[in-house]
Amino acid sequence: MQGTQSPEATTEPFIQAARPRWKRLFKVRLTPAQNTSPVAPWMGGKRNLAKRITAILDATPHGLYAEPFVGMGGIFLRRSMRPRAEVINDLGRDITNLFRILQRHYPQFIDCMRFQLTTRVEFERLVATRPDTLTDLERAARFLYLQRTAFGGKATGRNFGVTTTRSATFNLSTLEPMLEEVHARLSGVVIECLPYAEFITRYDRPSALFYLDPPYWGCEDDYGKAMFAPEDFETLAGWMKSGKGKALMSINDAPEIREIFAGFHMEEVQVSYTVARKEAARGRRGELLIRNFTL
């Protein structure tokens, strides 16, 4: 279905129109949540789409919220409503380790970063340091430092980011309040580090609402080699068709994506890209919000 078609007008077979049944089977109660910003940039962090995505998520009844590709939490943290159960996941160990440290060892984490400075020498030293040689606290501090000081929030192939219009990007006096907010927001949240398919299988149930933010089509290796492949989009489409839970996915608008996810609700949106170093590579491009349920 094309993005110009009204969701109410669709007759496609893959759409789950189950809201009345929800009310009979589940006592759904969403409570207000603190809208919090991510503590570091992340390539594909969805800042420009967050308002639209969170509006859909907050308006959809659910008893369990689940994210298989949480990244730095650009959508998870910006939601205004939360159910009783929340679980986030990422196959990147640096990400899940950072969230676990923020959740469980926040005071020690702050002490670990107390005298850190923003310098190219320190950036290059930490890039060269193998994370598996560090303690969990040191690993979390390394990852946060690199994400805040690298150009464009890239997870691989990092380069030191230079700015001449604002203060240093790693400044604990301004960063600490953000970290404290995320620490509080993570209370009661389950944190997993699983392959996305295993995560979905474990948590798929009628009460679940999944937000899917996989790597863009054509950019599957941007977050690490062999972590996601083009064939995985077929797997996601198959689950969205036959799974138990509701799912909302954001992805770049490509002909292959439209073909794979034909039959689901598709909403076209335009997004400004600013990560590219060259001005010619920047601009507005199309993205799709794909869901297997009606609003």
pLDDT of residue 170: 82
Q: What is the largest CA-CA distance in the chain?
A: 60
In contact, 73 and 98? CB cutoff 8 Å: no
In contact, 42 and 153? CB cutoff 8 Å: yes
In contact, 147 and 40? CB cutoff 8 Å: yes
Nearest-10 crossing angle of helices 120-128, 136-149: 130
Run means of pLDDT, 10 residues per run, the chain, 295 residues: 46 47 60 94 76 97 98 96 98 97 97 87 94 97 92 72 68 91 98 98 98 89 74 97 98 97 96 56 78 96
pTM of the entire predicted model: 0.85
In contact, 146 and 126? CB cutoff 8 Å: yes
- In the sheet that 283-291 helps form, which strands lie side by side, from edge to edge? 190-192, 85-89, 64-67, 208-212, 246-252, 283-291, 265-273
Q: Could you please report the per-residue DSSP string of 123-136?
A: HHHHHHS-GGGS-H
Structure tokens at 38: 């991510």
The domains of the chain, with CATH numbers, are 1-91+194-295 (3.40.50.150), 93-190 (1.10.1020.10)
Amino acid at 273: Y
pLDDT of residue 7: 44
pLDDT of residue 272: 73
The H-assigned helical ranges of the chain are 19-25, 50-59, 93-104, 106-112, 120-128, 136-149, 172-185, 196-203, 231-242, 255-260
How open is the CA angle 287-291-292, to the nearest 5 degrees?
Answer: 155
Residues 6+ apart with CB under 8 A from 171: 118
Query: Rounded to whole angstroms, what are the CA distances from 163 to 126, 146, 172, 275?
Result: 20, 15, 17, 13
Query: Rounded to whole angstroms, what are the CA distances from 179 to 107, 168, 188?
Result: 10, 17, 16
| Short-list 98, 56, 64, 96, CA closest to 80 | 56
